[in-house]
Amino acid sequence: MLVTLSFSKVSKEKICEFQAGVDALMKESQNHTFEEKNFDTNLHVEADPKHYDFVIVGAGAAGSVIANRLSAKHYKVLLLEAGGPETPYTQIPKLAHLLHNTDYNWGYLTTPQKNTCRGMIDNICAIAAGKALGGSTAINDMYCTRGNREDYNQWAAMGNHGWSYDDLLPYFKKLEDAFVKPFDPVYRHRGGPFHIEHPRYWTEITNGSLSAGKELGFDNIDFNAKNQLGMGRTQLSTKRGKRHSTAQAYLVPARKRSNLVIKPFSHVTKLLIDSESKEATGVEFFAKGKLYAAKAQKEVILSAGAISTAQILKLSGIGPREELDKFDIPVVAELNVGRRFIDHVAFIGLSLFYKNTTLGKEDETDEIIEYLQKGKGPLSVPGSETVAYFKTDASNHRKRYPDIELFFYSEKPSPTANSFRFKPEILESFKSLANKKILQIGVMLVHPQSIGTVLLKDKDPFHHPLVDPNSLSDPDDEDFRTLLAGIKRGLSFAGTDVFKKMNLVVNDYKIAGCEDHEWGSDDYWKCAIKLLTISLHHVMGTARMGPKSDKDAIVDNKLRVYGVQKLRVADASVLPVTISGHTMIPSIMIGEKASDLILQKWKAKEVPQD
């Protein structure tokens, strides 16, 4: 069952009910610990009695799209999702950070890192990934960015025919119902399934940062249109102030179709592949204490996300031979799955505060009423209000191609329930900002050169794989230099006349662990970068798309897995190069593109909608 949030007439009882739901979510997020189960290998496998044309693994950004588009034809579709449906409280944008410490998150952790995450417990960062109908679109910060034209032109230049920006623009437009300003109909569209809008609430940070950016030479733009270099208001996947996940956009309209079966709380343990024909015939999945086998007459589509997809492929015998041999997994197709893992990281240690301004005690009742009545107010915004893209002096790229994203927000860098896993001494450092009104500037490395891995821990499908982003470890230190240049560019906002008039001053309190360095020196920032650079959960590249001549390619330009018939991957796993932005919208686009590729293959005919 899919739950939606509707705004209604507000009564005292409604406010109390709302507050009770939020309190319950907060309590769960504070007390939750992620535990790995052990898989019973002696379970009897029961056959799913229904016959399906397609089995889709994962109801996330891409999987929900494909389930909708295929079921709109005459095909019988099974959609399997390990997590459950959203609730009215998960759809409140401001509560996004709470969801990272609940069962709506897979709860992945990195291995101990050398050059990032050193301000986190055990030098380990959290990597959030949605475990819900809607996948990560049900728990993320809802930022909508397509990336840069050059990203996709590079895909095509690598041999991925049909994936240039001009090829993909129709899909970016098809997916969206965009209410943004400025609106260029050449690049933007209204009427698609996925609603995109500007925040329905903003502070002086919005106009202040845009004006300061203009002072520094940043054009005010729609970064999802013709030109990405510049600065603009954040664009969110919300609809009238409520989170609009792909479950809401694609599954709610399709759920009444008799030929679409949606099974939440169904954990796929492996793919079923015929050892002789090398054809994917279905999947095994665990649900309600039992192990089932579901057969696909036409294809299996794997859309489980960059980490889970890599794990499922390997558990099914698709991966590097030496890794599969280590766990006695018979090799079906020897491919470098999980060996090109990339994650966007961001430095979150740059903040300014309003001089001579302190925060009083907040009464949230008015915020609740405004949200329940109109879907507006602080509860309708997850975080940042404006975003800037630019090219630093550290970039080696010949074209006007961004290498840094700045995002401006008013949140303190220590969210409730400490979902970032900060060490106690780091949290103590943040107390310098207690009771201060803050402007935080996040600095995201857009095109990291460092490559990580996703490796099996063991054969148990309920044990998380070993995720090593290996961030900021490229041999030429280009990532470090670029991030440092981005921090300095972010600092330049403090010197603008606009920020000075706003009484904003840089917070120069030294972070714990960097006291021996002069604040603001390169050595200080290098120290701070290692402590306060985190994962932004934009994981990609573990099942890279590329021509057969590419030794690291897992799928071809039609997303078909090399060496295995009737199996495709359609999610951020296939991204062959990094995206100049966040990965949600590109993943939805992949779902739209994959749907067309599949329908073209099977030459479907339109049938009446339910």
Per-residue pLDDT tens over the stretch 277-308: 999 999 999 999 999 999 999 999 999 999 99
Per-residue model confidence (pLDDT) at position 5: 56
Per-residue model confidence (pLDDT) at position 362: 63
pLDDT at 416 over 80: no
Domains located in the chain, CATH noted: 45-602 (3.50.50.60)
Among candidate residues 296, 288, 291, the one with its CA nearest the CA of residue 269: 291
Q: What gap in Å lies between CA 82 and CA 64, rounded to an integer?
A: 13
Averaged pLDDT, 307-321: 98
% of residues, the chain, pLDDT over 70: 95
Q: What gap in Å lies between CA 603 and CA 586, rounded to an integer?
A: 25
The tokens describing 44, both together, are: 């009897």
Q: Which residues in 92-171 belong to E strands, given as ranges?
A: 108-109, 126-127
Q: What gap in Å lies between CA 606 and CA 69, rounded to an integer?
A: 11
Among candidate residues 73, 50, 247, 8, the one with its CA nearest the CA of residue 599: 73
209 contacts 495 by C-beta, under 8 angstroms: no
C-alpha separations of 293 from 60, 266, 337 in Å: 21, 11, 24
Per-residue model confidence (pLDDT) at position 413: 45
Among candidate residues 568, 579, 456, 600, the one with its CA nearest the CA of residue 58: 568
Query: Which amino acid belongs to residue 357?
Result: T
Render pLDDT for 557-579 as a digit per residue (tens, 0 to 9). 999 999 999 999 999 999 999 99
Per-residue model confidence (pLDDT) at position 6: 59
Binding-site entries = 268
Render pLDDT for 94-140 as a digit per residue (tens, 0 to 9). 999 899 999 999 999 999 999 999 999 999 999 999 999 999 999 99
Helix/strand/coil for 471: coil
Binding-site entries for FAD = 268
- Return the active site residues: 538, 582
Q: What gap in Å lies between CA 444 and CA 548, rounded to an integer?
A: 32
Between 288 and 2, where is the model more confident? 288
Q: Is 230 exposed, middle or buried (0-12, 13-18, 19+ CB in 10 A)?
A: buried
272 contacts 280 by C-beta, under 8 angstroms: yes
pLDDT at 429 over 90: no
**Maximum average pLDDT range among 10-14, 429-433, 474-478, 486-490:** 486-490
Per-residue model confidence (pLDDT) at position 213: 97
Per-residue model confidence (pLDDT) at position 486: 97
Helix/strand/coil for 254: helix
Q: What gap in Å lies between CA 35 and CA 14, rounded to an integer?
A: 35
233 contacts 211 by C-beta, under 8 angstroms: no
pLDDT at 609 over 60: no
pTM: 0.95
Buried-state track 82-116, b at ≥16 Cβ within 10 A, e below 16:
bbbbbbebbbbbbbbbbbbbbebbbbbbbbebebb
Render pLDDT for 176-202 as a digit per residue (tens, 0 to 9). 999 999 999 999 999 999 999 999 999
% of residues, the chain, pLDDT over 90: 81
pLDDT at 443 over 70: yes
Q: Is 26 exposed, middle or buried (0-12, 13-18, 19+ CB in 10 A)?
A: middle
Per-residue model confidence (pLDDT) at position 360: 59
Contacts of 412 by beta carbon, 8 Å cutoff, 6+ apart: 430, 433, 438, 440
What is the per-residue DSSP string for 261-312? EEE-S-EEEEEEE-TTT-BEEEEEEEETTEEEEEEEEEEEEE-S-HHHHHHH
Residue 4 CA, distance from chain mean position: 21
Q: Rg of the chain's alpha carbons, rounded to an integer?
A: 23
Render pLDDT for 371-381 as a digit per residue (tens, 0 to 9). 888 889 888 98
Q: What gap in Å lies between CA 410 and CA 504, rounded to an integer?
A: 12
Cis peptide before 182 (omega within 30 of 0): yes
pLDDT at 606 over 50: no
Residue 21 CA, distance from chain mean position: 25
Per-residue model confidence (pLDDT) at position 361: 61
Q: Residue 407's beta-bridge partner residues?
A: 387, 442
Q: What sign results for the dihedral spanned by CA atoms 491, 497, 499, 503? A: positive
Per-residue model confidence (pLDDT) at position 109: 97
Per-residue model confidence (pLDDT) at position 345: 97
pLDDT at 8 over 80: no
Q: What gap in Å lies between CA 390 and CA 400, rounded to an integer?
A: 8
Between 355 and 209, where is the model more confident? 209
Render pLDDT for 226-243 as a digit per residue (tens, 0 to 9). 999 999 999 999 999 999
Per-residue model confidence (pLDDT) at position 420: 87
Per-residue model confidence (pLDDT) at position 395: 82
Buried-state track 125-154, b at ≥16 Cβ within 10 A, e below 16:
bbbbbbbbbbbbbbbbbbbbbbbbbbbbbb
Strands 342-347 and 533-540 turn out to be: antiparallel
Mean pLDDT of the chain: 93
pLDDT-based confidence at 33, cuts 50/70/90? confident
pLDDT-based confidence at 2, cuts 50/70/90? low
440 contacts 409 by C-beta, under 8 angstroms: yes
Averaged pLDDT, 209-221: 97
193 contacts 249 by C-beta, under 8 angstroms: yes
pLDDT at 410 over 90: no
pLDDT at 525 over 60: yes
C-alpha separations of 581 from 260, 304, 462, 495 in Å: 33, 21, 31, 26
Render pLDDT for 137-176 as a digit per residue (tens, 0 to 9). 999 999 999 999 999 999 999 999 999 999 999 999 999 9
Q: Residue 443's beta-bridge partner residues?
A: 347, 406
Averaged pLDDT, 352-374: 80
